[in-house]
Amino acid sequence: MTHDAIPTDPTQPATARERLLDAAEALIYAGGIHATGVDAIVRQSGTARKSFYTHFESKDALIAAALERRDERWMNWFIAGTQRHGKSARQRLLGMFDVLRDWFVSADFHGCAFLNAAGEIESADDPIRVVARKHKARLLDFVRAECDAFAAEAALDARRVAPLARQWLVLLDGAIAVALVSGEADAALDAQTVAKTLLDAAARPAATKRPPSRRTTT
Q: Compute the distance between CA of residue 82 and CA of residue 97 in angstroms, rounded to an integer.
A: 9
Q: Say whether pLDDT at 209 is over 50.
A: no
pLDDT digits (tens, 9 = 90+) for 38-59: 999 999 999 989 999 999 999 9
Q: Compute the distance between CA of residue 63 and CA of residue 136 in angstroms, rounded to an integer.
A: 17
Return all residues near 6 (Cβ < 8 A) that are at least 6 apart.
22, 25, 26
Distances (CA, A) of 74 to 171, 173, 176: 18, 14, 14
User: Quick one: pLDDT at residue 212?
Assistant: 58
CA pseudo-torsion sign 153, 156, 157, 163: negative
- Residue 213: band (very low, low, confident or very high) from pLDDT cuts 50, 70, 90: low
- Residue 105: band (very low, low, confident or very high) from pLDDT cuts 50, 70, 90: very high
User: Quick one: pLDDT at residue 211?
Assistant: 55
- Residue 216: band (very low, low, confident or very high) from pLDDT cuts 50, 70, 90: low
CATH topology for 15-56 is Arc Repressor Mutant, subunit A (1.10.10)
- Residue 13: band (very low, low, confident or very high) from pLDDT cuts 50, 70, 90: low
Q: Are 90 and 72 in contact (CB under 8 A)?
A: no
pLDDT digits (tens, 9 = 90+) for 150-176: 999 999 988 888 899 999 999 999 999
Q: Say whether pLDDT at 79 is over 90.
A: yes
> 15-56 and 59-202: same fold?
no
Task: Output phi, psi for 153, to 5 deg.
Answer: -65, -40
What is the domain partition of the chain in residue ranges? 15-56, 59-202
Burial environment of residue 111 by CB neighbours within 10 A (0 to 12, 13 to 18, 19 or more): middle
- Residue 103: band (very low, low, confident or very high) from pLDDT cuts 50, 70, 90: very high
Average pLDDT for 20-42: 96
Q: Say whether pLDDT at 124 is over 70.
A: yes
Q: Say whether pLDDT at 193 is over 90.
A: yes
Whether the predicted model's global pTM rises above the 0.75 cut: yes
Q: Are 160 and 202 in contact (CB under 8 A)?
A: yes
State the average pLDDT for the chain.
90
Return all residues near 38 (Cβ < 8 A) that are at least 6 apart.
49, 52, 59
Average pLDDT for 13-29: 93
User: Quick one: pLDDT at residue 24?
Assistant: 97
CATH topology for 59-202 is Tetracycline Repressor; domain 2 (1.10.357)
